[in-house]
Amino acid sequence: MQNTKLNSFYKNSVIPFVIVAISSTFYLYEFFLRVLPGVLSYEIMHDMQIDAATLSMIGTSFYYGYITMQIPIGLLCDRFGPKKLLTISVATCSIATVIFAYSHSILLSATARAVVGVASAAALIAPLTLATKWYDKKHFALITGMVQLLGCIGAIGGGVPIAALSQHTSWRQSILWSAVIGGVLTILYILIIKDSPNKEDNHKKHRSFKEELQKVKKVAANIQNWYTGIAAMCCWAPIAVFSELWGIPFLMDLQKIDNAAAASEAAWVWYGIALGSPIVGWFSDRISSRRIPIALCAIIGLISATILIYAHVESVITIETLLFFFGLSAASQPVTFGLIVDNNPDEIIGTAIGFNNMAAISGALLQVLVGVLISTMWQGKMLSGTPVYTIYEFKYAFAVIPCISLLAIFTAFFLIKETDCKRVNN
């Protein structure tokens, strides 16, 4: 009875909002760190004397760590609770970012980014796990959309302000200042976050390794988790390729503008994701459908990306509008997490969320393919000893983006089974 009253007290107060919101700031910070190589691409290439393929390798190192740790982080989150993971992870991100800022070695830079990726693996899983503890699961897609909104704010903060700051100081100093944010968040998490409103959840008995492995097997055995993972990957792969790395150089050459102006335009992608994520999550819950929002967003992405890349658009307003809708197309990602919650029992939610996030972010590995294609088609243009890439190379390499959108449409219509936003496997 006492635990029931305690649970009721917490869930009818502002405490759940504060805890989930504060924990979600790590997702904001992780996005901030994630987009930095794309914003500072030419500065990094010039300083370190590297080409597009090498920059892609350094940037993608983040994702090797991030993807590898998704399921382990989900298991650790279920086992030890989100608070410990968040506190250790954000502190590690801050330290690794300092190392990256001072590194002059390609190997050390890639390693530092990989460590940031490993630590960032908890940035989405931990807040969403907290959300399942503090809120009714019927609101999960909407809450995921709100967390996604914070991530977009981080990407915007890692775009325009950092691009402007880099014009007045070095790219290394710009990144160094970003490490300070991690120290502040570490203190906040220690002081504020609580794993659950129920005392039993905060002191639960640890499972054996064999039992933890069984949870992974349960997640992997559900074919709908794989189809949902494909949809999640298709949501994010175009954003990872364009907005996180090569979009700003593309816009610079397309319109012959500087880094700061291109970053300002590229921010419209994040505006689209930020505005669309909670709306699409709410829309999915409202119409009791997961497949329809995924399919609609994929169609929007296909149309907007194709026009932006191949239609020779010159109007700034038109470009920003297309970028906004391109971002809006990724707003269905929260719906895929809603599907994961619908299709998996409570005891493996953290692991299942990690599985889906691993699938979603795996699309970022296409950054390497795109970087190789850009370098392969390079026309030999140089500026101060650094390769400069043109629309020709970008249009050739960006052909992968509409192909991914087509795969998303196929998956939504023919593979994913509709859950009507209800738990189908308790």
**CA 378 to CA 390: how far, in whole Å?**
8
Tell me which long-range contacts 107-115 makes (C-beta under 8 A, separation of at least 24): 109/48, 109/58, 110/57, 110/58, 110/61, 111/61, 113/37, 113/58, 113/59, 113/61, 113/62, 113/65, 114/61, 114/62, 114/64, 114/65, 115/65
What are 110-135's pLDDT values in tens digits? 899 999 989 988 888 888 888 777 77
Radius of gyration of the chain (CA): 21
- Segment 191-197 shows an average pLDDT of 79
Q: 412 falls in which pLDDT band (50, 70, 90)?
A: very high
Q: Which of 50-64, 103-117, 204-218, 239-253: highest mean pLDDT?
A: 103-117
In the chain, what is the straight-line distance between the N-terminal and C-terminal CA atoms, in Å? 24
- Lowest-pLDDT range of 69-73, 100-104, 340-344: 69-73
Structure-model confidence comparison of residues 136 and 315, the more confident one: 315
Q: 37 falls in which pLDDT band (50, 70, 90)?
A: confident
Residue 5, pLDDT > 50, answer: no
What are 132-191's pLDDT values in tens digits? 777 766 666 677 777 767 766 766 666 667 666 666 677 787 778 878 888 898 998 888
- Segment 52-61 shows an average pLDDT of 79
DSSP assignment of 12-78: TSSHHHHHHHHHHHHHHHHHHHHTHHHHTHHHHHHHHT--HHHHHHHHHHHHHHHHHTHHHHHHHHH
- Please give the structure tokens belonging to residue 392: 């020709």
Residue carrying the six token digits 């924990």: 23
For residue 348, the model assigns a pLDDT of: 80
For residue 204, the model assigns a pLDDT of: 52
- Lowest-pLDDT range of 83-92, 96-105, 153-162, 233-242: 153-162
- Please give the structure tokens belonging to residue 107: 């190997």
Q: At what angle do helices 349-361 and 333-343 cross, to 10 degrees?
A: 150
Residue 4, pLDDT > 90, answer: no
For residue 1, the model assigns a pLDDT of: 41
For residue 195, the model assigns a pLDDT of: 75
Structure-model confidence comparison of residues 26 and 9, the more confident one: 26
What are 226-250's pLDDT values in tens digits? 999 999 999 889 988 887 778 888 8
Structural domains of the chain, with CATH: 9-196+206-414 (1.20.1250.20)
- Segment 361-383 shows an average pLDDT of 79
For residue 3, the model assigns a pLDDT of: 43
Q: 282 falls in which pLDDT band (50, 70, 90)?
A: confident
Residue 20, pLDDT > 70, answer: yes
For residue 7, the model assigns a pLDDT of: 55
Cα–Cα distance list, 387 to 43, 50, 253, 367, 393 (Å): 12, 8, 13, 18, 12
Structure-model confidence comparison of residues 406 and 349, the more confident one: 406
Is the pTM value of this prediction over 0.75? no
Q: 324 falls in which pLDDT band (50, 70, 90)?
A: very high
**CA 43 to CA 195: how far, in whole Å?**
41
Structure-model confidence comparison of residues 34 and 298, the more confident one: 298
**CA 419 to CA 426: how far, in whole Å?**
13
For residue 293, the model assigns a pLDDT of: 94
Contact 271, 156 (CB under 8 A): yes
For residue 2, the model assigns a pLDDT of: 40
Mean model confidence pLDDT for the chain: 81
Residue 308, pLDDT > 70, answer: yes
Share of the chain above pLDDT 70, in %: 87
